[in-house]
Amino acid sequence: MKILILGSTGLLGQALASSLSLKNFQVTGVARKNADINIDITEDESLLNVLKNDDYDVIINTVAIVNLKTCNDDPGLAYKVNSRPASIIANYAKNNGAYFIQISTDHYYSGDKDLLHKETDNIKLLNEYARTKYCGEVYALTSPKALVIRTNIVGFKNSESPTFVEWIVNNLENNTSMNLFNDYYTSSISVKQFSNILYDIILKRPAGILNISSGECFSKEAFIRALADKLDFSLGNSKSYSILKSGLTDRAESLGLDVSKAESIAGYKFPGLDEVIQEICNEYKNK
């Protein structure tokens, strides 16, 4: 099976490319640099040329500007990267029978603590990241075969800018104190666990919106404490902290996802916090 991964050098793209290559997929990766094909996907002609380059069975779009401030500072750029390419890909996929997977976000829920949100629950669009990601979902679903995946991913990637997990580990190694958000909830899953689940989901070809994440929702504080504990680091002067009292009002913070629909398609339970932490520790120790 031939698969095209847009954003193959990112946190999720790297994990998907290595995991799916080990299965029976022939993977082609795309980014602006250091990928199999280097293009800017905001340029329509370049994007279309890549799509037509081979007879891809599956196209996965992981490309996004994930930095909230960058999106808020330049909504036009956020739209060009997070939204518009999904419409070009959906149109191509619809006409060529490809299975299109648009990676979306969980950044849609606020004010209901650790509630697990279903795919059909009401959403709130609090910032340009959420607005442009949601627009990308709508565009993707213009192809009847498209799957939009809402998720929250964590892990390691080889790049200059640290991921959330790399930031935590750096702080633990250097004994640097952190603000531990006790009211910022996510259902984070490691990118490796996500990639293995996605492989099983791809074989079933569901369409529509699907949550794929940890089966549990936990605070950032609980995540960091569990990781520090498992890696045997002290949290030193790190303190419990409220995101709701910090003035960061344009952030969604109740990001729990209900994965029961995806679990019933996959046929098994998704990892809880302990299994996610164990996976991150294994990857840390193998680095």
Ligand X SMILES: NC(=O)c1ccc[n+]([C@@H]2O[C@H](COP(=O)([O-])OP(=O)(O)OC[C@H]3O[C@@H](n4cnc5c(N)ncnc54)[C@H](OP(=O)(O)O)[C@@H]3O)[C@@H](O)[C@H]2O)c1
Binding positions for ligand X, 157-216, rule CB under 6 A: 157
Of 8-16, 119-127, 167-175, 267-275, the window that binds ligand X (rule: CB under 6 A) is 8-16
Binding positions for ligand X, 53-112, rule CB under 6 A: 62-64, 66, 81, 103, 105-106
Q: Which is nearer to ligand X, 9 or 171 (CB)?
A: 9
Q: What tokens appear for 218 in the block?
A: 């936990």
Q: Which is nearer to ligand X, 106 or 128 (CB)?
A: 106
The reply to whether 33 sits near ligand X by the rule CB under 6 A is: yes
Q: Which is nearer to ligand X, 42 or 179 (CB)?
A: 42
For residue 91, the minimal CB distance to ligand X (Å) is 18
- Through-space distance between the first and last CA atoms of the chain, rounded to whole angstroms: 30
Angle at 97 between CA 95 and CA 101, to 5 degrees: 105
For residue 149, the minimal CB distance to ligand X (Å) is 9
Q: Which residues contact 219 (CB under 8 A, 6 or more apart)?
A: 114, 181, 182, 183, 184, 185
Q: Which is nearer to ligand X, 32 or 269 (CB)?
A: 32
**How far apart are the C-alpha atoms of 108 and 140, rounded to whole Å?**
17
**How far apart are the C-alpha atoms of 282 and 56, rounded to whole Å?**
33
Q: Which residues contact 199 (CB under 8 A, 6 or more apart)?
A: 19, 20, 23
Give Cα 14 to chain centroid, integer Å. 12
Site for ligand X (CB under 6 A): which residue of 19, 152, 193, 195? 152
For residue 82, the minimal CB distance to ligand X (Å) is 7
The residue ranges that bind ligand X (CB under 6 A) are 7-13, 31-33, 40-42, 62-64, 66, 81, 103, 105-106, 133, 151-153, 157
